[in-house]
């Protein structure tokens, strides 16, 4: 697959089938992930693959509680504003995102594979997210959809307990990525155009070009 196709179409793919991810596909995804950079090449990371339905079954109710907490805290104002004015384009996107994220929670046990990432002594996440994103891009190349989730942070202790993570070695939970074969189609991620969020030489100065629509696919 063309690398730009992977970069433009690796979305939060939350509607998936329960079909298992074959071992050879898992191997290519994980082996690609550990090629990623980390500060000083320390590779202080651990990846925990969960495909046991019993473990997923224990995690599902915790995930749903955590997502509920997210809606009630960090996202409360944003979602209330979106519901109050649902025709505004930004609010529409927020409501689509909420429905999709809630679908993930409601169907947590359906995802055939989860990938938990942990990093030691790196609260910035700079030495773990490149590897996680590489796993997601590799999955895209394999036709496997992924969604990065972080809400387990609201209730870490029971999750660490279920997964048997040692609590005295400095391992920090970074994310849990769901994997599964999509039920729908891949699309280009809609984002604020680059010239609206980028400057050149000085904060606020124009970038020097404008890109009103995505450059991939090239002849769209
Ligand atoms: C740091 C981080 C944390 C995230 N946490 C969650 C999460 O807990 N649950 C979830 O459903 N999606 C989560 N997401 C996925 C985002 O909602 C998603 O990337 C964003 O809405 C863009 O989606 P799109 O690529 O399909 O447009 C997270 C993404 C990032 C980068």
Q: Each residue of 9-53: pLDDT tens digit?
A: 999 999 999 999 999 999 999 999 999 999 999 999 999 999 999
Cα(124) to centroid(ligand 1), Å: 17
Average predicted confidence (pLDDT) for the chain: 97
Ligand 1: which residues within 6 Å by Cβ?
11-12, 97, 101, 104, 147-151, 189
Measured distance CA(33)–CA(9) in Å, rounded: 18
State in words which class domain 3-188 has. alpha beta
Q: Which run of H or of E encompasses 48? A: strand 45-50
- Domain-by-domain residue ranges, the chain? 3-188
Main-chain phi, psi angles of 142, to 5 degrees: -90, 0
Q: pLDDT tens string for the chain (220 positions)? A: 999 999 999 999 999 999 999 999 999 999 999 999 999 999 999 999 999 999 999 999 999 999 999 999 999 999 999 999 999 998 999 999 999 999 999 999 999 999 999 999 888 999 999 999 999 999 999 999 999 999 999 999 999 999 999 999 999 999 999 999 999 999 999 999 999 999 999 999 999 999 999 999 998 7
Of 107, 126, 149, 176, the one to substitute when testing ligand 1's pocket (max ligand atoms within 8 A of C-beta) is 149
Could you give the residue ranges of the DSSP H alpha helices within the chain? 3-9, 23-33, 53-72, 76-84, 89-106, 129-141, 156-163
Cα(101) to centroid(ligand 1), Å: 8
Structure tokens at 46: 């651990």
pTM across the whole model? 0.97
What is the phi-psi region of residue 121: left when phi exceeds 0, alpha when psi lies from -120 to 50, beta otherwise?
left
């Amino acid at each position: 697959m063309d690398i730009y196709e992977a970069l433009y179409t690796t979305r939060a793919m939350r509607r998936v089938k329960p079909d298992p991810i074959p071992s050879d596909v898992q191997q290519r995804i994980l082996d690609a992930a550990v090629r990623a950079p980390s500060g000083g090449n320390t590779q202080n990371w651990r990846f925990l693959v969960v495909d046991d339905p019993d473990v997923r079954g224990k995690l599902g109710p915790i995930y749903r509680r955590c997502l509920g907490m997210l809606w009630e805290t960090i996202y409360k104002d944003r979602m209330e504003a979106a519901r109050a004015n649902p025709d505004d384009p930004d609010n529409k996107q927020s409501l689509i995102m909420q429905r999709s994220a809630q679908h993930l929670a409601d169907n947590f046990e359906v995802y055939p594979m989860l990938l938990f990432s942990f990093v030691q002594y790196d609260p910035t996440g700079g030495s773990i997210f490149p590897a996680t994103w590489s796993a997601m891009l590799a999955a895209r190349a394999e036709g496997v959809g992924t969604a990065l989730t972080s809400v387990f942070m609201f209730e870490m202790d029971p999750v660490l307990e279920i997964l048997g993570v040692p609590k005295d070695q400095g391992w920090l939970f970074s994310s849990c990525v769901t994997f599964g074969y999509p039920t729908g189609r891949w699309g280009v991620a809609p984002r604020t155009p680059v010239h609206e969020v980028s400057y050149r030489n000085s904060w606020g100065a124009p970038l020097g070009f404008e890109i009103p629509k995505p450059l991939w696919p090239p002849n769209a």
